[in-house]
């Protein structure tokens, strides 16, 4: 059930979308995170053989994607972010069609088994166009699963679903992860925390983290963040003289709001209040924030972005 990615690189003209990414997954559900445009979908398309890599190697259950594309794809199931379905086909008809493309033996029994596996039974008599988005996602999952792949690649599988649908699809994914390797992309941090023990984070095409959520939280610390919002616009220079500040992030689309990582929030809190008095800048709020996955994600991606400005 293993997936190995070694020194993977992809360029589009002058832009490097993915730069020298390497990781190995033996089993279970691994979260694959990054901001929009970080290179997640490009990486997933290369892993699944839909996009050729410029450099690097991909091994799926020991089969090299570049040299043995047809064999490697037999071990992969892929649900892309834009779930491509034939809307005018009935659910069973579509899955039978997918089974025929894989040249599977006993396509009818495999179709019925997969329908039950992803919870499609109540809707399997309908045309795909008649389904809710949640059930359309289940059809996409069923199509990715029907050939019983050992490695499952899921790109934003709960995007656009309502809260109840998200819980249902999450439950299906959790069950699938017990018997295969799942690489799972999502922007919903609570979802990643509930499904994954390990996460990989990329930013601007480069790896910035690959560890268990527990270890990342330990390294970040818990409760060692301050979020401060000023009344007037402020710049990075406001914090330059402060000690015990590990990183500074301007929160997205918030000109006057900053997040500071610190091992001594008490000292930094007093320093912020002192400097704001000296500069006659009013503080609207000054609060502690826990070291959760969202905070870790922001510190690894936004900090790099802000440090380049």
Residue 125: CATH number of its domain: 3.40.50.300
Chosen domain end from 214, 245, 275: 214
pLDDT band at 309 (very low <50, low <70, confident <90, very high): very low
Asked whether residue 187 falls in the same domain as residue 239, the answer is: no
Residues 6+ apart with CB under 8 A from 92: 111, 115, 124, 125
Q: Answer yes or no: pTM beyond 0.85.
A: no
Any domain includes 309: no
Domain hosting 77: range is 3-214
On average, the pLDDT of the chain sits at 89
Domain boundary among 164, 197, 214: 214
Are residues 22 and 148 located together in one domain of the fold? yes
> Does pLDDT of 42 surpass 50?
yes
HEC readout, the chain: CCEEEEEEEEEECCEEEEEEEEEEECCEEEEEECCCCCCHHHHHHHHCCCCCCCEEEEEECCEECCCCHHHHHCCEEEECCCCCCCCCCEHHHHHHHHHHHCCCCCHHHHHHHHHHHCCCHHHCCCEHHHCCHHHHHHHHHHHHHCCCCCEEEEECCCCCCCHHHHHHHHHHHHHHCCCCEEEEECCCHHHHHHHCCEEEEEECCEEEEEEEHHHHHHHHCCCCEEEEEECCCCCHHHHCCCCCEEEEEECCCCCCEEEEEECCHHHHHHHHHHHHHHCCCCEEEEEEECCCHHHHHHHHHHHHHHHCC
Instruction: State yes or no: pLDDT of 113 exceeds 70.
Output: yes
Q: Quote the number of domains for the chain.
A: 2
On whether the CB atoms of residues 233 and 220 are closer than 8 A, the answer is no
pLDDT digits (tens, 9 = 90+) for 188-242: 888 898 899 899 999 999 999 999 988 887 776 555 788 899 998 888 889 988 9
Q: What is the pLDDT of residues 124-158, one digit of tens each?
A: 999 999 999 889 999 999 999 999 999 999 999 88
36 and 91 share a domain? yes
């Amino acid at each position: 059930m293993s997936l190995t990615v070694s020194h993977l690189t992809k360029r589009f003209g002058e832009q490097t979308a993915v730069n020298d990414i390497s990781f190995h997954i033996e089993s279970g559900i691994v979260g694959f995170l990054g901001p929009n445009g970080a290179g997640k979908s490009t990486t997933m398309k290369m892993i699944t053989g839909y996009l050729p890599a410029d450099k690097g190697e991909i091994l799926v259950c020991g089969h090299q994607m570049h040299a043995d594309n047809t064999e490697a794809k037999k071990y992969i199931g892929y649900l892309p972010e834009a779930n491509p379905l034939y809307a005018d086909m009935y659910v069973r008809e579509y899955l039978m069609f997918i089974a025929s493309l894989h040249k599977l033996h006993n396509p009818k029994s495999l179709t019925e088994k997969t329908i039950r596996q992803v919870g499609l039974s109540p809707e399997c008599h309908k045309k795909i166009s008649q389904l809710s988005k949640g059930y359309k996602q289940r059809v996409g999952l069923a199509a990715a699963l029907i050939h019983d792949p050992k490695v499952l690649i899921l790109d934003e599988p709960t995007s656009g679903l309502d809260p109840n649908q998200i819980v249902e699809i999450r439950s299906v994914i959790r069950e699938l992860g017990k018997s295969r390797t799942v690489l799972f992309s999502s922007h919903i941090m609570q979802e990643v925390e509930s499904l994954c023990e390990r996460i990989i984070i990329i930013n601007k095409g480069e790896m910035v983290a690959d560890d268990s959520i527990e270890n990342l939280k330990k390294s970040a610390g818990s409760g060692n963040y301050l979020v401060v919002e000023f009344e007037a616009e402020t710049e990075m220079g406001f914090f330059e003289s402060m000690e015990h500040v590990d990183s500074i992030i301007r929160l997205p689309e918030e000109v006057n709001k900053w997040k500071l990582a610190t091992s001594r929030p008490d000292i930094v809190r007093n320093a912020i209040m002192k400097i704001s008095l000296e500069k006659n800048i009013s503080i609207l709020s000054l609060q502690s924030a826990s070291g959760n996955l969202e905070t870790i994600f922001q510190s690894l991606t936004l900090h790099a972005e802000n440090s380049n400005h």
